[in-house]
């Protein structure tokens, strides 16, 4: 387990070691995140070889972890670091799922989804709640618990079913609505529905 940020700053407290302190704080504030060496070089505006030397020192002193990803060095703070929800989420969620979520995130913006943004957001929320309840039901059955927060396994199954059905309906409604808007726009019946044209009219 790595040391603390205070220990790092104390160890590298020289006037000519400010870049090391900046690097250490940058990694400390991003616990459980693998950061590319080139990103760090850009952050402190130093040549990559200089950053590599600093990282070697950090690694030798037990402050960071290091690995190669497609030939490029990646490092992360060894330990809890600044902690917070982001740290625990990255600790609990498998790295593959986290990377998949990062790749999908650009497709879930308002510009991409348009009028389907809100239904899709609600769908994701309800599906998440449904999954949590499903896991809770499994735990109740596995450990033979009577209830959790006053809800029995049957109660949770019923609620999960309702949430799942609601999420499915919202997803279907989002898809149908999007298709309807595309069809209307293609027919030229209501061209003012597009966001850009609405913006032009308002200006």
pLDDT score of 20 more than 80 = yes
Contacts 24+ apart (CB under 8 A), 38-41: 38/72, 40/75
What's phi and psi for 148, nearest 5 deg? -130, 120
Residue 85 sits at the vertex; the CA angle it makes with 130 and 55, to the nearest 5 degrees, is 135
CA distance 126 to 163: 6
CA distance 142 to 137: 9
pLDDT band, residue 51 (cuts 50/70/90): very high
pLDDT (tens digit per residue) in 76-116: 888 777 666 566 566 656 666 656 555 555 555 555 555 55
Q: pTM for the full model?
A: 0.45
Task: Give me the helix-helix angle, 153-187 and 117-142, nearest 10°.
Answer: 160
CB count in 10 Å sphere of residue 55: 21
Residue 74's beta-bridge partner residues?
36, 67
The whole-number average pLDDT for the span 162-170 is 76
Question: What are the residue boundaries of the structural domains of the chain, listed by start?
Answer: 5-92, 109-202
For the ranges 43-47, 171-175, 189-193, the lowest mean pLDDT is seen at 189-193
**Does residue 121 or residue 108 have the better pLDDT?**
121
For the ranges 60-74, 84-98, 123-137, 169-183, the lowest mean pLDDT is seen at 84-98
pLDDT score of 119 more than 90 = no
How far, rounded to the nearest angstrom, does the alpha carbon of residue 106 sit from its chain's CA centroid? 12
Which residue has tokens 């600093």?
Answer: 54
Q: For the chain, how many helices (H) and strands (E)?
A: 10, 3
CA distance 95 to 197: 41
CATH number of 5-92: 1.10.10.10
């Amino acid at each position: 387990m790595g040391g603390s940020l205070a220990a790092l700053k104390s160890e590298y407290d020289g006037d000519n070691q400010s870049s090391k302190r900046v690097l250490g704080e940058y990694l400390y504030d991003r616990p459980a995140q693998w950061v590319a060496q080139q990103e760090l070089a850009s952050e402190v505006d130093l040549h990559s070889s200089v950053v590599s030397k600093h990282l070697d020192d950090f690694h030798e002193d037990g402050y960071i972890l290091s690995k190669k990803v497609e030939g490029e060095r990646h490092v992360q703070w060894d330990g809890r670091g600044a902690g917070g929800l982001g740290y625990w989420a990255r600790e609990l969620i498998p790295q593959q799922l986290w990377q998949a979520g990062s790749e999908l995130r650009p497709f879930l913006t308002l510009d991409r989804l348009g009028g389907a943004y809100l239904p899709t957001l609600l769908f994701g929320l309800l599906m998440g709640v449904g999954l949590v309840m499903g896991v809770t039901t499994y735990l109740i059955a596995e450990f033979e618990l009577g209830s959790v927060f006053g809800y029995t396994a049957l109660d949770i199954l019923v609620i999960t079913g309702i949430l799942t059905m609601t999420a499915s309906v919202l997803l279907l409604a989002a898809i149908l609505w999007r298709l309807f808007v595309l069809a209307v726009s293609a027919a030229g019946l209501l061209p003012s529905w597009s966001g850009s044209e609405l913006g032009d009219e308002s200006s």
